[in-house]
Amino acid sequence: MTTQESARPVRDYAGIRSPGPWRDIDHPRQSFTGPLVHEITVGWGDCDPAQIAYTANIPAWSLDAIEAWYRHCVGAGWYELNLRYGIGTPFVSLGFDFKSPVTPLHVLGICVEVTHIGNSSVSHAVTGRQNGTLCFTGQTTATFVEAAAMSPLRIPPNIRSSIETYQSAQGS
């Protein structure tokens, strides 16, 4: 048994396996131009009685944008990171400031930038804009863990390299 292997048995839940031992992505991703802007189509059903986006949707849309960032930067979303690579990235901090209402009138673009890379954590800034107007800003921090044991994990080298390349190409 290697140091990465866990004594915990791999279970099958109706065809969905529990996370196995963690492993790095095969190779770093190297091709980025500017920060990712994830687009959200805001619908009437996303709004509250004040006819603006329900407040709780803003962090949820931001997390959708960060998951899109993982797919773009690392090549795998959270589901695949957990089950295929055995890596979890739970959030340890979320903070949002609201600047202007989000409405169904325009597409919401959420820009995702890396602000800090630690030994086992990554911090993002998210910025939401509609039709050129700043609607909100957010700051998040997630930590890398071995998914099966939920124990701390240093960011694996190829994932770290991908994040560092993205950060240097984001232009901020």
pLDDT at 39 > cutoff 50 = yes
| Neighbouring C-alpha atoms within 13 Å toward the C-beta of 11 | 5
CB atoms near residue 114 (< 10 Å): 19
How are strands ordered across the β-sheet holding 145-146?
87-88, 145-146, 151-152
Torsion of CA 62, 65, 71, 76, to 10 degrees: 30
Per-residue pLDDT tens digits for 76-105: 999 999 989 999 999 999 999 999 999 999
pLDDT at 9 > cutoff 70 = no
- Better pLDDT: 20 or 76: 76
In terms of pTM, does the model score above 0.75? yes
CB atoms near residue 163 (< 10 Å): 20
pLDDT at 3 > cutoff 50 = no
Mean pLDDT of the chain: 90
Per-residue pLDDT tens digits for 44-75: 999 999 999 999 999 999 999 999 999 999 99
Ranking 13-17, 144-148, 160-164 by mean pLDDT, the lowest is: 13-17
- Better pLDDT: 117 or 3: 117
- pLDDT band with cut points at 50, 70 and 90 for residue 2: very low
